[in-house]
Amino acid sequence: MPDQADAAPSTPPVAALSGITVLELGQLIAGPYCGYMLAGFGADVIKVEPPRQGDAIRGWRKLHEGTSLWWRVIGSNKRSITADLRQPEGRALVRDLAATVDVVIENFRPGRMESWDLGYETLSADNPGLVMVRVSGYGQDGPYRDRPGFANVAEAFGGLRYVTGEADRAPLRTGVSIGDTLAGMHGAYGTLAALRERDQNGGRGQVVDVALYESVLSVMESLIPEYDLLGHVRERTGSSLPGIVPSGTYACADGLHVVIGANSDALFVALMNLIDRPDLGSAVALANNAGRSAHGAAIDTAIGAWTQKHSSADALRMLAEADVPSGPIQSAADIAADPHVAARGMLTRTALPDGTEVALPAHVPRLSRTPGTTRWAGPELGAHNREVYGERLGLDDAALAALKARGTI
């Protein structure tokens, strides 16, 4: 056996989705988030953007040197090309590209791609193995298919907004476009399922139909069967979680809040002992979740009385020592400074096109052999025109210059 020092260096594993090529159409969040997830694990995602202005998300929220930092996240690992889909010549370029890829992602309103002669029937005629991911507010069929649907509308329609907020106040939204992100995740999952089916069963692709509202509805736990069988309509309950007690947010002496979840029987006893309420921990009526749920307000009051005597740091330390699940409510600054986040490598430093380094969230979930990576931040508009059009369609510099002069790219 050779010495370890003499052993040949190991070859880095091939990325999990290496060899998969994706053409991403559409703008903003849901479709591009699907592409972001696939690109993070090695798929070659070619992002098609309108010439001159690019994807609208390039101008959303906080900017650095004129470009949104959000774009640098959601555009990471993608190659950016331009094509004006309003021009027949631009649509022809996209159709030719679609014939060379495994997946097309689009998030236009249903019927728009067909009006451009870029629908699934057209594209799959040239590329029978194509998987087409279609993201829209309400899906590709049904009476609401033609309605515009953004994440805020989908979150309301799918039931999330109704149960979010305080009981006596108007429904609230989360601080991010969660409906879009959920749709993007479902799109990525559907992509992988469709690709596996294609490769296992004869090479024919199919459509992955992702509706924003359905992506929201799918994570609403037992909301529907509770209504269907019991007539129960879940209502807004603020930071508590009726039916699962204790599980809530509690104020501390320093004005900060902590989250505590002690909803198993053993954890409840441990928590009650910690807060000097062994009488509650040993009460027969509170021995199981059903009993605790009937007395949730009293239990929350007892926990809140204890947390208000301690700083958030002290409360969390004691809760951890008692092995009771708990945690702080962290801001961006807190996350950036958290040692566990750092130890897990959840923030990865990446150079922007101007050389400035910035922290971006790492790609999840973590794969043990072929983890996702951030190879580059969201690129400049059209940065890969020459590369992609040259390698896939054989266009030379003169052809590209002519397309650019006509405003096609």
How many domains are there within the chain? 2
pLDDT for the residue numbered 241:
81
**Is 334 among the domain residues?**
no
Q: For residues 81 and 200, state if they share a domain.
A: yes
**Is 336 among the domain residues?**
no
276: left (phi over 0), alpha (psi -120 to 50) or beta: left
The Cα-based distances of 298 to 257, 291, 311 in angstroms read: 19, 12, 22
pLDDT for the residue numbered 5:
43
Edge-to-edge strands, sheet with 247-251: 247-251, 257-261, 326-328
Global pTM exceeds 0.85: yes
What confidence tens digit (pLDDT) does each residue in 313-332 have?
Answer: 999 999 999 999 999 999 99
Q: For residues 163 and 308, state if they share a domain.
A: no
Cite the DSSP H helix spans in 41-137.
69-74, 88-98, 112-115, 120-126
Q: For residues 141 and 284, state if they share a domain.
A: no
Q: For residues 268 and 397, state if they share a domain.
A: no
Q: Which residue is associated with the tokens 């945690």?
A: 327
Q: For residues 391 and 273, state if they share a domain.
A: no
Count CA within 13 A, CB hemisphere, residue 12: 7
pLDDT > 90? residue 160: yes
Under a CB-based contact definition with an 8 Å cutoff, are residues 57 and 70 in contact? yes
Between strands 257-261 and 247-251, the pairing is antiparallel
DSSP 8-state class, residue 293:
H
Q: For residues 281 and 373, state if they share a domain.
A: no
Is 168 designated active site? no
Q: What is the CATH number of the domain that holds 312?
A: 3.30.1540.10
pLDDT for the residue numbered 10:
60
pLDDT > 50? residue 394: yes
Domain containing residue 264:
247-251+257-328
**Is 346 among the domain residues?**
no
Q: For residues 148 and 266, state if they share a domain.
A: no
What residues have CB less than 8 Å from 71, skipping those under 6 apart?
A: 55, 57, 58, 60, 378
Q: For residues 206 and 121, state if they share a domain.
A: yes
Which of 308, 328, 348 lies at the terminal end of a domain, its last residue? 328
Strand partners, 197: none
Among 129, 80, 79, 81, CA closest to 104: 129
What confidence tens digit (pLDDT) does each residue in 9-64 have?
Answer: 466 789 999 999 999 998 999 999 999 999 999 999 999 999 999 999 999 999 99
**Is 61 among the domain residues?**
yes
Under a CB-based contact definition with an 8 Å cutoff, are residues 47 and 55 in contact? yes
Spatial separation of the C-alpha atoms in residues 391 and 389, rounded to whole Å: 6
pLDDT for the residue numbered 8:
46
Q: For residues 180 and 64, state if they share a domain.
A: yes
What confidence tens digit (pLDDT) does each residue in 345-393 have?
Answer: 999 999 999 999 999 999 999 999 999 999 999 999 999 999 999 999 9
Under a CB-based contact definition with an 8 Å cutoff, are residues 56 and 370 in contact? no
What confidence tens digit (pLDDT) does each residue in 280-294 have?
Answer: 999 999 999 999 999
Q: From the candidates 44, 84, 102, 180, which is the catalytic residue?
A: 180
What residues have CB less than 8 Å from 154, skipping those under 6 apart?
A: 137, 179, 183, 211, 212, 213, 215, 216
Q: Over pLDDT 70: what percentage of the chain?
A: 97
pLDDT for the residue numbered 2:
39
Q: What is the mean pLDDT of the chain?
A: 95
pLDDT for the residue numbered 4:
41
Q: What is the CATH number of the domain that holds 44?
A: 3.40.50.10540
H/E segment holding residue 198: helix 178-200
